[in-house]
Amino acid sequence: MGRGTVQVLLLLGLLHWGPGGEGRKNWRRRGQQPAAAAAARERSEATGQPVESFPLDFTAVEGNMDSFMAQIKSLAQSLYPCSAQNLHHELRLHLLLDSSVTCNDGSPAGYYLKESKGSRRWLLFLEGGWYCFNRENCDTRYDTMRRLMSSKEWPITKTGTGILSSQPEENPHWWNANMVFIPYCSSDVWSGASSKSEKNEYAFMGALIIQEVVKELVGKGLSNAKVLLLAGSSAGGTGVLLNVDRVAEQLEEMGYQGIQVRGLADSGWFLDNKQYRRTDCIDTITCAPTEAIRRGIRYWNGIVPERCKLQFKEGEEWNCFFGYKIYPTLRCPVFVVQWLFDEAQLTVDNVHLTGQPVQEGQWLYIQNLGRELRNTLKDVTASFAPACLSHEIITRNHWTDIQVKGTSLPRALHCWDRSLHDSNKNGKAPLKGCPIHLIDSCPWPHCNPSCPTIRDQFTGQEMNVIQFLMHMGFDVQKMAQQQGLEPSKLLGMLSSGS
């Protein structure tokens, strides 16, 4: 009999054997008394609802449980083949009950939810998608990207990917959490607090949408949570920095002080740096980040955390939209994920990599951007910053492939989880061999060999880092000279990601 068969039989035995020869066993959470379990059973019988079985809680699992979890999932599929599809739960749309909290066009805001019975971990994800900051570019956005301003055509279900996936293979440490995807339909970097009126053609209620979603989720099991991870990408990543403390304060005020609120900001750590070429502030793409946010915060009636606001003069609240300025004021722990050569940052800085040879000035600007970003992250306790040219990562299928110094992003997040659990428990120092401050030191875009694939925009063919640099018009001979290296040595270093 094979080892796998024995393990399955053992698991079947655990499911079958129970006190007094009962055909199923109700597992209690640690610390739950028999009387409490009996009371729960009585309530269940009174309401006609089945007793919830196997409320497994993996909030603080030590070590790597991936293979064990895969076996549990496989076993469940074999025991319940008719409902095996339910294991690949899609997230289902819920429009907010309070219809006064709306998208830009006045349609109700909402969220997608996939519950995971028994898990006390909740992941709330804020979608990204730029912003608009005046009537003209909001009208253009409504004509071209209506999904980001209205809920009228949202699908009923959504499949989670990356950190929102229910597949252990794709999401090794969070697949079992309660998943919430909050669509971005406020165009205000999740900061607005103004409703639609005769005076205001559009509503900007991003901050209020988050508060309302949290309020509704409390009635759907969030009240029993141990950990709430507020995550987001791009504008959603900046939204995490602006809202994570507010969510923690909201839950405390509601009487749920025991919930540990944390943040995960992906590709939302922007710099208020000088553009490569200054242009007039005409639209979202050409406008310098500082000017766009200055205009936007007034147009949206945007709100920022009080602790950050107090660091700046009145009218200078826009500073709080930039990660390195708001991060020191945050109370909640936040993990920052940021490409060193972020495509959105380069776009607003007017560096457009269109396949044409890059000028020397652009090349030096790009290198300097990487250095500046690296410097802003040096005091961030938990960070993951690969030297890649890309934008967004945590909801991508390939998010497990990217590594910094030999550690993948899911592994770094797991280490962070464990370090927070241990420090809450007994003040231990971070675990050895489990790094959480991971920043690439190589100086060029895509010098990390695990970076996402780059394709030639004309042929569609994949390019390695050397082909990419030559394609962009970089002079390897000159680069080697600048670094004081032989060209062959430089090419070898680029190939290996040194």
Give the catalytic positions in this structure: 234, 342, 391
Residue with tokens 């971070």: 430
Q: How far apart are CA 315 and CA 134, in angstroms?
A: 18
CB 89 within 8 A of CB 114: yes
CB 168 within 8 A of CB 72: no
Residue 483: CB atoms within 10 Å: 12
Angle between helices 476-483 and 487-496 (to 10 degrees): 90
Q: Left (φ > 0), alpha (ψ -120 to 50) or beta: where does 427 sit? A: left
Beta-sheet pairing, 454-455 with 462-463:
antiparallel
The residues, any chain, with a CB within 8 Å of residue 369's CB and separated by 6 or more, are 271, 273, 340, 341, 345, 346, 349
Q: How far apart are CA 65 and CA 162, in angstroms?
A: 18
Q: How far apart are CA 345 and CA 269, in angstroms?
A: 9
- The first and second tokens of residue 271, run together, are 């710099």
The residues, any chain, with a CB within 8 Å of residue 24's CB and separated by 6 or more, are 15, 16, 18, 53
- The first and second tokens of residue 401, run together, are 């492939």
